[in-house]
Amino acid sequence: MPTLFSRIIAGEIPSYKIYEDEYIYAFLDIAPQRLGHTLIVAKIEIDHFSEVPEPYYSAIFQTAKILSPAIQQTTGCNRVCTMFVGYEVPHCHYHLIPTDSTSDLDHSKVKKVEHAELKKMQEKILAHL
């Protein structure tokens, strides 16, 4: 059975796409730690990041270099922090989280965001790419 992320990549589930190429699909997290929280997902169903083959592995980090400045400009955050977590969905995904302090990385702060807020954030980030 395809993962949630494979279904998003296939267009079966709507998303707020920020970037896509042959190896990567990046979109806004609908329950962000902070608005602008973006997930970079490999277009291959591998659970753990250390098992992701090339060129997908390098593409994750190249995409992070492209998206992080746009997220920082859009949100006005001090820093875009990153992490692999992977407990929620068994499909390698890299988090880009706009932060002003390490407390912004607290996963207990996640909350659902309204469609209009996500759409507006998507448009702003895309304008900075």
What pLDDT, on the 0 to 100 scale, is given for residue 101?
95
The per-residue pLDDT string of the chain (129 residues; one tens digit each, 9 = 90 and over) reads 899 999 999 999 999 999 999 999 999 999 999 999 999 999 999 999 999 999 999 999 999 999 999 999 999 999 999 999 878 899 999 999 999 999 999 888 788 899 999 999 999 999 999
* Lookup: tokens for 129: 């790419």
pTM value > 0.85: yes
Domain ranges of the chain: 4-127
Say whether domain 4-127 belongs to CATH 3.30.428.10: yes
